[in-house]
Amino acid sequence: MPAFDLVLRGGTCVLPWGEEATDVGVRAGRIAAIGDLRTAGAAETIDCTGLHILPGLIDAHVHLRDPGDPAVETLETGTRAALLGGLTAVFDMPNTAPSITDRERLDWKRGYLEGRAWVDVGLYVGASKKNIAELASLELQPNVCAVKVFAGSSTGDLLVEDDASLEAVMRSGRRRICYHSEDEYRLQERKPLFHSGMPHRNHMVWRDVDCALIGTKRLMTLARRTGRPAHILHVSTAEELELLRDYRDVSTVEVLLNHLTQTDEAYDRLGGYAVMNPPIRDERHLRAAWAAVADGTVDVVGSDHAPHSRAAKERPWPDGAAGLTGVQTIVPLMLDHVSAGRLSLSRLVDLMCAGPARVYGATGKGRLAAGYDADFTLVDMKRQRTIEESWIVSPCGWTPFAGHRCTGWPVMAILRGAVAMREDEVIGTPRGTGVRFAEARG
């Protein structure tokens, strides 16, 4: 019997301690050896010459809309998009219709993903003012990555905006809480300043820097008072990044691919297809986001994949839906940023593998290391390809990045030891299962 089920031979591995030209051996779905395996027996060998082998990339921020509107997205289509885009795990947000806010819906979702998910899935639980007392037990259920709090309103009906309720949420449970942190009071106060049909760039004027900064300041004060760890999602302003450097004792930081890639010129070019919460802003904030990637302020980069129908995106501002697709395009675009010299492949792995594993406490993922899940994203850094809308498999059918030429492309993805995607094709059947978290065991 061969020593390994699979050997990845001749590639350049992005290991936690640096890049190394070495082989990887897989047995029973896990990494069994890293080293020179030229003479080892293997049931299957993949020649990885010219490719980089990364730990399976994780998008810790997606909205797969299931249950919801299958004409926009489902768990099956969203995870297929993830896999084709080079991801092996996603963490799915709870603002579905209905939202995932209780034990029954959570149990349903865990069962539902088996046989439908093409990649592994972590599950967020939504906080509402009605389920605060249950959050402490909900966050311990298997496959739960975190409680998600919308402290400012966005898509769906989840909202916990006042300090007393937020403090009560923080005192119910112990794991790190994820926040959408725009300040609801400032949002509502400024809404009457705008009217239907105004140019889309008003989105960033309405939901302005202060809106984000006030929200994050309030949450940091409460987090320190209660000692409850926080993860501020989609940090979008230079001001918040500066503030958060003083709160590393209680908070981690997510920045989105969009805020690293797009600026306000997108409103003129894309109209409603540039509208998301928190908004795309001007160049100053994009530069601050890259500085925060460079100095380590940022722990995680995600896509905030948030599909909506074309009809919902094309309504006049501000009546249209906020949110942009991204789960299929985040890896090519981040690889393109690597090619442009904005970050290293090692830092990309830190932001999309080790970072999510550390922030959410995932076990068995996020590192190329013996004993870890044999999840790999194989990338060809020389491959040049243009993102085309016809490639997008989410039923809503659009991407704000159509026409973007990328240098660097994911050519293969391996999920727990078996090839799941190769050159634009998903292979076999949906084998995704729930991601495991150290503190969530039921």
- Which residues carry out catalysis? 304
CB of 306 to ligand DOR, least distance (A): 4
Q: How many residues does the chain have?
A: 442
Which residue intervals of 27-142 are DSSP H helices? 75-84, 103-113, 135-138
Residue 281 in contact with ligand DOR, rule: CB under 6 A: no
Q: What are phi and psi of 437, to 5 degrees?
A: -130, 140
Question: Measured between alpha carbons, how far is 92 from 140 in angstroms, rounded to an integer?
Answer: 16
CB of 416 to ligand DOR, least distance (A): 29
Given candidates 95, 261, 328, 433, which one binds ligand DOR under the rule CB under 6 A?
95
Given candidates 277, 303, 325, 399, which one binds ligand DOR under the rule CB under 6 A?
277
For ligand DOR, the closer of residues 54 and 257 by Cβ is 257
Closest CA to 58 of 436, 316, 425, 336: 436
Question: Measured between alpha carbons, how far is 275 from 329 in angstroms, rounded to an integer?
Answer: 17
Given candidates 74, 79, 99, 155, which one binds ligand DOR under the rule CB under 6 A?
155
For ligand DOR, the closer of residues 42 and 255 by Cβ is 255
Element (H, E) at 45: strand 42-47
CB of 180 to ligand DOR, least distance (A): 5
Given candidates 322, 374, 387, 435, which one binds ligand DOR under the rule CB under 6 A?
322
User: In 308-375, at which residue ranges do the beta strands (DSSP E only) sit?
Assistant: none
Name the one residue in this structure whose structure tokens are 């605060």: 132
Given candidates 56, 94, 173, 323, which one binds ligand DOR under the rule CB under 6 A?
323
CB of 363 to ligand DOR, least distance (A): 27
Closest CA to 88 of 392, 407, 372: 372
Q: Per CB under 6 A, which of residues 283..312 are in contact with ligand DOR?
A: 306
| Residue 417 near residue 30 (C-beta atoms within 8 A) | yes
Q: Per CB under 6 A, which of residues 55..84 are in contact with ligand DOR?
A: 63
Residue 276 in contact with ligand DOR, rule: CB under 6 A: yes
| Residue 151 near residue 164 (C-beta atoms within 8 A) | no
Amino acid at 126: G
| The two structure tokens encoding residue 251 | 């908070």
| The two structure tokens encoding residue 177 | 């809480």
For ligand DOR, the closer of residues 113 and 322 by Cβ is 322
Residue 180 in contact with ligand DOR, rule: CB under 6 A: yes
For ligand DOR, the closer of residues 73 and 120 by Cβ is 73
Residue 154 in contact with ligand DOR, rule: CB under 6 A: yes
CB of 153 to ligand DOR, least distance (A): 9
Residue 200 in contact with ligand DOR, rule: CB under 6 A: no
For ligand DOR, the closer of residues 55 and 279 by Cβ is 279
- Residue number, nearest CB to ligand DOR: 323
Cis peptide bond prior to 410, omega within 30° of 0: no
For ligand DOR, the closer of residues 79 and 154 by Cβ is 154
Question: Measured between alpha carbons, how far is 276 from 267 in angstroms, rounded to an integer?
Answer: 11
Element (H, E) at 239: helix 238-244
CB of 321 to ligand DOR, least distance (A): 6
Residue 394 in contact with ligand DOR, rule: CB under 6 A: no
CB of 156 to ligand DOR, least distance (A): 6
Closest CA to 92 of 130, 60, 117: 60
| Residue 383 near residue 409 (C-beta atoms within 8 A) | yes
Residue 215 in contact with ligand DOR, rule: CB under 6 A: no
For ligand DOR, the closer of residues 173 and 323 by Cβ is 323
CB of 63 to ligand DOR, least distance (A): 4
For ligand DOR, the closer of residues 203 and 337 by Cβ is 203
Q: Which long-range contacts (CB under 8 A, 24 or more apart) does 309-315 make?
A: 309/69, 309/71, 309/72, 309/396, 310/396, 310/397, 310/398, 313/272, 313/273, 313/275, 313/398, 314/271, 314/272, 315/272
* Cα torsion through 19, 341, 212, 266, rounded to 10: -130
Positions in the binding site for ligand DOR (CB under 6 A)? 63, 95, 154-155, 180, 276-277, 306, 322-323
